[in-house]
Chains A and B, each alone.
Chain A
Amino acid sequence: MSLPRLILMPIRTSKQGQQVNIGKDHDDYLTMTTTLTVHPDDLKERNIPNGARVIVRTDHGEAEFVCTEGKVPRGMAFVPYGPPTCKLMGGDTDGTGMPTSKGWEFDMEVVLNAE
């Protein structure tokens, strides 16, 4: 039986807010915005080791993240807003001008090394 899809919740954090001032192209900002926090049981169910690189796929796009275990509710994953989350965002705004930026269902898959 396939597991239910997780729900992705991009969030704002203090460190991200600081880093925005330094530059969104800075390595620290990119590291922060590609770190996905998931409940340990959700990772275990999917056989994904803590710290693994994963491809996250929503209905609109895909992006690469590093998975870390954290104290978050089951069934959800949290990541600071950034360029990778923009890749997962659909362009449709439902006539509001704002694309839905939270609550996407997604699948993830471990990135295998080329060798």
Chain B
Amino acid sequence: MPQTVTKFATCAGCACVCDDLELHANDARIFEAKNACEMGRCWFLERPISKVEATINGKPASLSDAIDRAAMILYEADSPLVFGLGETTAEAQREAVALAERLDATLDTETSLTHGTMELAAQLGGKVTGTLGEIRNRADLIIYWGANPARTHPRHLERYSVHSTGKFRTRADRTMVVVDVRESETAKEADIFLRIRPETDFEALTALRCLVRGQRIVCERLNETGLSLDQLRDLAERLKRARYGVIFVGQGLLQTRGLHMNASAATSLGIALNATGRFLVMPLRTPGNIGGADAMLDYATGYPFGVNFSRGYPRYNPGEFTAADLLARQEVDAALIVGVNAVKRLPDSARTQLDRIPTIVIDREIRNATVSIATAPAGISASGTVYRNDKIPLGFRPPLTSTRPTDEDVLRRIREAVERKPETYPTASARMTILE
């Protein structure tokens, strides 16, 4: 069997989206992924691919029948939900927006269940953005808050951060600080490790901001954080001295009590520090193309997640139009899920509703759903665009080809099938007529 070598292949096994991989493949499979970390190797080599093209009610079906059935379910639904999109390409995400708009549906992505609180914080007080390239070349102070990239983003430290050799900085020029509730694998590599008590991140970040700005803090309350005033003063001085600093925040900050207010405390501190140097606050996103989903929804609707089209124009309200809330309140009567891993992040109260309603799943494998369609996996046998952790778009270089359609193809065909059906009341145009 002839072998091919694909250089500079892009991996979406985690949000690092490393694009320096060399893939060795034959016609059927990839058998070697040079430069890949353990997560990348698994992403390229071990992902199972379904032999069945599509199923309806668990029985094998043709792709066109599955698309027609999916279109009918969505057409008949009063309040459909389009959800997931974290494991697909930006092109498919764009198609999902178009479909959701055509259906007057709600569109929510894995962002709401991962780092959505960071988006909310940015809306509360703004954010300073930058790239991982800037950090690699310039950062002299790197803080990980509630994050453990040594385990979750295996090549992050080496490619973009502390251990990388940039144009102006090397490891010797950088100070690495880890703030976490436990001494994680990342903490073991840090110059300074601060063990914080659970659920006191907001207090510690606010105290730090006060110290940076020379404001008074109540020391007795500080004890609750498990950190001493001396430790925070020392960190505040380092923050002020840094010429280019970054706080990478993980789910240890974004998913604990306080949620978006924790994220807001971090972004506010970052903004305050731009008075003395350049400072970024960046979430360490979960695997896949979740950053792409944010970017695509921002670009197409103006909002990053939790978007509702039922009035014919995009409306945004986390808590109202987000999947976990909509499903728990039983306000969804059909769901289209692109990438099933998103569902497994939902609390049981939301997942129970998914068992009650018709579901359409588009994924690389056949899943337990009313309609399940297996597509060509992005990066393996489907090309497209993926966004890195810092929202830099990169192209996939798939080494294999597939007869399967891509997510984008399937979403477009469902939309076209819906568009062939007669308009139902109420439609956006009908509402506009009434308003006129």
Q: Which A residues contact B (CB, under 8 angstroms)?
A: 7, 9, 11-14, 17-24, 60-61, 71-73, 76, 78, 81-83, 86-87, 89-91, 93-103
A102: shortest Cβ distance to chain B, in Å?
Answer: 5
Residues of B within 8 A of A95 (CB): 318-320
B117 lies within 8 A of chain A by Cβ: yes
| 14 cross-chain CB contacts under 8 A | A7-B198, A14-B151, A18-B38, A24-B341, A61-B348, A73-B182, A81-B345, A86-B344, A95-B318, A96-B116, A96-B319, A97-B318, A98-B113, A99-B113
- Write the chain A residue with the least CB distance to B120: A96
- Write the chain B residue with the least CB distance to A37: B182
Contact at A91–B319, with CB atoms within 8 Å?
A: no
Residues of B within 8 A of A11 (CB): 148, 252
Contact at A91–B43, with CB atoms within 8 Å?
A: no
B154 lies within 8 A of chain A by Cβ: yes
CA distance A93 to B135 in the complex (A): 33
B181 lies within 8 A of chain A by Cβ: yes
Chain A interface main SS type:
loop
Contact at B151–A12, with CB atoms within 8 Å?
A: yes
Contact at A22–B42, with CB atoms within 8 Å?
A: yes
Contact at A96–B349, with CB atoms within 8 Å?
A: no
CA distance A66 to B289 in the complex (A): 33
Contact at A98–B117, with CB atoms within 8 Å?
A: yes
Contact at B198–A17, with CB atoms within 8 Å?
A: no
Residues of A within 8 A of B13 (CB): 17, 21
Partner of B48, one of A9, A12, A22, A100: A22
Residues of B within 8 A of A81 (CB): 345
Q: Kindly identify, within residues 298 to 352 of chain B, every residue whose CB is under 8 Å from any CB belonging to chain A.
A: 305-306, 318-320, 322-325, 328, 341, 344-351
CA distance A60 to B348 in the complex (A): 10
Partner of A86, one of B46, B341, B346: B346
Contact at B350–A94, with CB atoms within 8 Å?
A: no
Contact at A78–B344, with CB atoms within 8 Å?
A: no
CA distance A101 to B257 in the complex (A): 9
Contact at B112–A97, with CB atoms within 8 Å?
A: yes
Residues of B within 8 A of A73 (CB): 181-182, 195
Contact at A14–B325, with CB atoms within 8 Å?
A: no
Q: Kindly identify, within residues 1 to 52 of chain B, every residue whose CB is under 8 Å from any CB belonging to chain A.
A: 13-14, 38-39, 42-43, 46-48
Given contacts A96-B260, A97-B305, contact A17 B14 (CB under 8 A): yes
B91: shortest Cβ distance to chain A, in Å?
Answer: 22
CA distance A81 to B346 in the complex (A): 11
Contact at B255–A97, with CB atoms within 8 Å?
A: no
Extra contacts, 13 of them, besides A17-B13, A22-B42, A98-B324 (Cβ < 8 A), are: A9-B182, A17-B151, A22-B46, A82-B344, A89-B347, A95-B319, A96-B120, A96-B322, A97-B112, A98-B113, A98-B254, A100-B255, A102-B256
Contact at A87–B348, with CB atoms within 8 Å?
A: yes
4 interchain residue pairs of minimum CB distance: A97-B322, A95-B319, A91-B349, A97-B112
B108 lies within 8 A of chain A by Cβ: yes
Contact at A91–B116, with CB atoms within 8 Å?
A: no
B199 lies within 8 A of chain A by Cβ: yes
Partner of B257, one of A20, A83, A100: A100
Contact at A98–B151, with CB atoms within 8 Å?
A: no
Given contacts A17-B152, A97-B306, contact A78 B182 (CB under 8 A): yes
Scoring A17, A72, A78, A82 by chain B CB atoms within 10 A of each residue's CB, the highest score goes to: A17
- Write the chain B residue with the least CB distance to A20: B341
- Write the chain A residue with the least CB distance to B254: A98
A101: shortest Cβ distance to chain B, in Å?
Answer: 4
Residues of A within 8 A of B182 (CB): 9, 72-73, 76, 78
CA distance A13 to B287 in the complex (A): 12
CA distance A22 to B38 in the complex (A): 13
CA distance A67 to B346 in the complex (A): 24
CA distance A112 to B120 in the complex (A): 45
Scoring B43, B259, B345, B347 by chain A CB atoms within 10 A of each residue's CB, the highest score goes to: B347
CA distance A83 to B348 in the complex (A): 9
Contact at A21–B42, with CB atoms within 8 Å?
A: yes
Contact at B151–A96, with CB atoms within 8 Å?
A: no
Scoring B152, B154, B320 by chain A CB atoms within 10 A of each residue's CB, the highest score goes to: B152
B175 lies within 8 A of chain A by Cβ: no
Partner of A93, one of B42, B287, B322: B322
CA distance A11 to B183 in the complex (A): 13
A95: shortest Cβ distance to chain B, in Å?
Answer: 3
CA distance A91 to B38 in the complex (A): 33
B19: shortest Cβ distance to chain A, in Å?
Answer: 18
Scoring A91, A96, A97, A102 by chain B CB atoms within 10 A of each residue's CB, the highest score goes to: A97
Residues of B within 8 A of A87 (CB): 348
B251 lies within 8 A of chain A by Cβ: yes
Residues of A within 8 A of B255 (CB): 98, 100-102
A14: shortest Cβ distance to chain B, in Å?
Answer: 5
B135: shortest Cβ distance to chain A, in Å?
Answer: 21
B295: shortest Cβ distance to chain A, in Å?
Answer: 18
B394: shortest Cβ distance to chain A, in Å?
Answer: 19
